[in-house]
Amino acid sequence: MKTQPKAKKVNKNWLHDHISDPWVKLAQKEGYRARAAYKLKEIDEQFGLVRPGQVVVDLGCAPGAWSQYLRRRMAPEGAASGQLQGSIIGLDLLPMEPIEGVTFIQGDFRDEAVLAQLEAAAQGRAMDLVVSDMAPNLSGIASADAARVAHLIELAVDFAQQHLKADGALVVKLFHGSGYDALVQLFRDTFHVVKVHKPKASRDRSAETFLVGLRLKRPA
């Protein structure tokens, strides 16, 4: 008797869950590129982060669902095109299909040339909000994956310290597991207010959650 390889079973289960997922269906109906838009939507509604007129940076923006949500929030009557009040700058190592009103920069924000592009796009203004849905390619080796996740969050925190307004906010994705407590502490050392939130659009079995940091602590 032949048995299906485990990888194929996992892929088939994921595909079934994906197709039947109500958030996927809603994203398709409302024109979002991914269900992740509803994670940011819930976080925004919970903490009141996004307002017209802001300068917002979306780190790890591809395929663009978070930038789409930001664009609608910062437009009159939530329009997906037309007038935009504020600036949205998306960065990613991967390419992204254009979104009207969103300035996309492909590259690594640690590179001086990429950082110069970002600062030019911001026209010298400090950021009101930095959001990061960045996640590394996971190897399945827990210690190595935890280190990669921690590194991305540390980079996002460092970026925020350099570019956020004093009353700005940072949102990052992280995962429960090794290093989780240390990353929460990093946020507490960096921000006056720290919130942990798991949106309803995050799958129940997923270890992902989101950290929200409000109002930067400045060095003495």
To the question of whether residue 167 is assigned a binding role by annotation, the answer is: no
The HSE-up count of residue 116 (CA atoms within 13 Å, CB side) is 3
To the question of whether residue 23 is assigned a binding role by annotation, the answer is: no
C-alpha span between 152 and 183 (Å, rounded):
11
Query: Does the CA dihedral 19-20-24-29 come out positive or negative?
Result: positive
Within 10 angstroms of residue 97's Cβ, the number of other Cβ atoms is: 9
Does residue 39 carry a catalytic annotation?
no
Q: Of 216, 219, 197, which Cα lies nearest the Cα of 208?
A: 197
| CB of 134 closer than 8 Å to CB of 93 | no
To the question of whether residue 158 is assigned a binding role by annotation, the answer is: no
Query: Residue 124 corresponds to which tokens in the numbers above?
Result: 């010298």
To the question of whether residue 14 is assigned a binding role by annotation, the answer is: no
Give backbone dihedrals phi and psi of 109, rounded to 5 degrees, phi first: -70, -5
The catalytically annotated residue of 2, 6, 41, 173 is: 173
| CB of 89 closer than 8 Å to CB of 159 | no
C-alpha span between 94 and 85 (Å, rounded):
26
Q: What is the distance in angstroms between the CA of the first residue and the CA of the last residue of the chain?
A: 69
Cis peptide bond prior to 199, omega within 30° of 0: no
Query: Residue 161 corresponds to which tokens in the numbers above?
Result: 């310290």
To the question of whether residue 92 is assigned a binding role by annotation, the answer is: yes
Annotated binding-site members for S-adenosyl-L-methionine: 64, 66, 92, 108, 133
State the catalytic residues: 173
